[in-house]
Chains A and B, each alone.
Chain A
């Protein structure tokens, strides 16, 4: 059973502010979903390898050659705020 406190904690981890009664709503909806997901507990998975991908992939390597990358001005073009060649954010260090 997820309580409102847990929703607040997880929302904080996910860097999302919740508004109004969202914590209550999410707690109730997530409890429904988790109750449904509970059925997985009935499944015996002892000795089963976890699957993180649908195809078997080993590390993919490419030749260590320098290629063109996105020009700075284009990388910065969508920035909400920028200064010279940098993304600008609110002050971090006091």
Chain B
């Protein structure tokens, strides 16, 4: 039998159409691959073999004709799948089975995909390394002593390790793009409002956006086409046309104006990362793209703004986990003590740290100095992008300042961890789309990511630029040895 796990979604669709491949056979490949490598990778928060086989059988029985029929996809553990465990990799949601499907899940089911488990993540998406999961860290398939990135580290590692064909993640400050970069796969954060957040367990509501993690840009376009679009169940979802992103899979960047923000090419940027990004610039230049230096002058404030805004929103969103309606409850005779003990026992250290920071920033006497100040600075950061897009169509940056770091390297110093998202955070603050594609490997063999950023709702432009780069660079065909 073919090893379907190594296929991209498009290749697998072609095989299904040509040779009538059965979902049951795809599921068997998946189980074999999981048995072979997942003890090393630990990419799943929840995996139910029986359910996978039942789903495969149902897809075969119904002759499913959806556009992504039988394509196995992992869903990040903070996205609700009806009647399945959805725990944000947190002890406080222990045993929680979602009573409904998130809109993206409904759409993926309608498209005929084979849902293949819940991927591991930093607890409540709080982290850049997948180390804060209550199920233990996911490991980078390129080097098992290193982190896969986060918070969608499970999603990225599963795709890189060929344990699934594609995965869904969520991106609040880089949580799709950063792990995609560190695992050598493609990660896409759409424009805020492009993809419904209904059924995504909220972290920073003004920043969160769901996006695909795939083996190449083509698969990314295929998945985005399925999950994007207006949803009345999400009041921040935008009612605007969704183009057919697959028509943007065109190799052409002639005359495309690409800006290089000088604030992103700074001290602290790893030498290998800089070299690979420079090579990508040369390649795109050779293909006819026109480069110019641009300035995003408030970049240096982005991490500060982000941690105030994101933690404030998180402290409010996570107030609902109190032991009353779902998840863990600690036994205490009084209601107040029950709340406090449940939250002590249920939340990990990073969740507590962020809730406390957010509560502090929102508390009486500090609100103006922190939260309001951050909201104003956020306006300036967004205006930087508005101004930059007057002179360019696409902004090109490294996705991360360094390749994947070692497990445990930054856990003791939260601030250092926060600074690893320095290049991805600004797009969330501005609400604009970004994609990370592999652009080579460090001397030590670790993947490096290249980030393309575009104007709001110009996902099509991003896909075209990223696809042109990918097809000419050829890194998407490289897979780790496991």
Contacts and interface: CB of A to CB of B under 8 A. Distances in A.
B96 A10 contact: no
Interface residues of B, number: 75
Given A55-B238, A75-B99, A80-B329, A50 B375 contact: yes
Contact of A37 (B308, B347, B376): B308
Contact of B96 (A6, A40, A55, A78): A78
A30 B360 contact: yes
A16 B344 contact: yes
Contacts of A91: 333-335
B418 interface: yes
Interface stretch (B123-131, B154-162, B253-261, B318-326): B318-326
A14 B359 CA distance: 6
Interface stretch (B24-32, B103-111, B348-356): B348-356
A79 B325 contact: yes
B271 interface: no
Contact of A54 (B97, B343, B382): B382
Nearest to A74: B99
Q: Tell me the dominant secondary structure on chain B's binding face.
A: helix
Contact of B382 (A11, A33, A51): A51
B193 interface: yes
Contacts of B192: 53-55
Interface stretch (B41-49, B366-374, B470-478): B366-374
Output the residue of A19, A22, A90, A91 with the most chain B CB within 10 A.
A90
Given A53-B206, A77-B97, A78-B97, A60 B456 contact: no
A49 interface: yes
B206 A90 contact: no
Contacts of B191: 55
Interface in A1-29: 2, 6-7, 10-19, 22, 26, 29
Contacts of A15: 319, 322, 336, 339-340, 343
Classify chain A: how many residues form its interface, as a range. Answer: 35 or more
Given A16-B356, A29-B353, A78-B97, A55 B431 contact: yes
A78 B326 contact: yes
Contacts of B319: 15
B375 A16 contact: no
A contact patch SS: loop
Contacts of A62: 232
Nearest to B239: A60
B226 interface: no
Interface in B263-277: none
Contacts of A30: 353, 356-357, 360
B307 A33 contact: yes
Interface string B147-170: 000000000000000000000000
Interface of A: 2, 6-7, 10-19, 22, 26, 29-30, 32-33, 36-37, 39-41, 43, 45, 48-55, 57, 60, 62, 70, 74-75, 77-81, 87, 89-92
20 contacts: A13-B359, A14-B343, A14-B356, A15-B322, A16-B344, A16-B347, A16-B356, A17-B341, A18-B344, A30-B353, A32-B414, A33-B357, A39-B304, A49-B379, A54-B207, A55-B193, A74-B99, A77-B99, A80-B329, A90-B332
Given A18-B344, A29-B414, A49-B379, 6 more contacts: A26-B356, A29-B415, A32-B415, A43-B298, A45-B377, A57-B235
